A = this chain, B = another copy of it.
């Protein structure tokens, strides 16, 4: 196995040297998940090996698991599944909601989200920053579109009597998601209880109670 690895290593260098004389124009930078180098984003696959499958992914027609407690599930079509998205600053997702199901308050640190309702009725909302903390919310019908500005806390809830489905797009190929409850009450290790007691202005027993759920 060591020999194979060495061989791969040498081959990579040889390829690099062979192609060095004719650097091609770059139409895209398909992610190369086998590269040993980590960069902001991902290294690129040699354009010679790029195929249509690198720009594609199947499965946004499938219903995600919407079991308890949240009654909410989703599937991401980000650069991890579509390597061709690398460096292109966009991605997609599908979300499913049982009746009453909730996408709990969360933040995408650096991405805008735009969603459209494919089936059902969703209550959606986001809260503006301090000191206004104004909730901007709306009930969406099938075919409605809504925008969540970057870095603001937002949520969705199925307010209809049947399952709901939404398609979302994000202004990043690799969104991160900060789930407020999990981050604050369920981190590893936990945030000190007196920090949380002061922040939420309740006694530590309540903080411990919430922490025990995560």
Interface positions of A (Cβ within 8 A of B): 2, 5-6, 8-10, 12-17, 20-29, 31-46, 50-53, 55-62, 69-71, 77, 79-80, 82, 84-92, 94, 100, 102, 104-110, 112, 114, 116, 118, 123, 125, 127-130, 132-138, 140-153, 155, 157, 167, 169-171, 174-192, 194-196, 198-202, 206, 209-210, 213-214
Contact = CB atoms under 8 A, between A and B. Distances in A.
Contacts of A5: 10, 13-14
Contacts of A44: 38-40
Contacts of A92: 114, 116, 145, 169
A153 B43 contact: no
A12 B210 CA distance: 41
24 contacts: A6-B10, A16-B35, A24-B132, A50-B136, A52-B136, A55-B146, A56-B144, A58-B143, A58-B144, A91-B114, A102-B195, A105-B183, A105-B191, A129-B177, A130-B183, A132-B188, A133-B187, A135-B187, A135-B189, A135-B190, A155-B191, A171-B171, A202-B210, A206-B206
A176 B91 contact: no
B145 A57 contact: yes
B153 A151 contact: no
A213 B169 CA distance: 36
A39 B39 contact: yes
Given A39-B39, A110-B110, A129 B58 contact: no
| Copies of this subunit | 6
A211 to B, nearest CB: 10
Contacts of A142: 61
Contacts of A27: 109, 128-129, 149, 152, 176
Contacts of A29: 38-40
B201 A144 contact: no
B136 A51 contact: yes
* Closest A-B pairs by Cβ, 9 of them: A109-B151, A61-B143, A169-B169, A104-B199, A129-B176, A201-B213, A38-B44, A16-B36, A20-B33
Contacts of A182: 130, 133
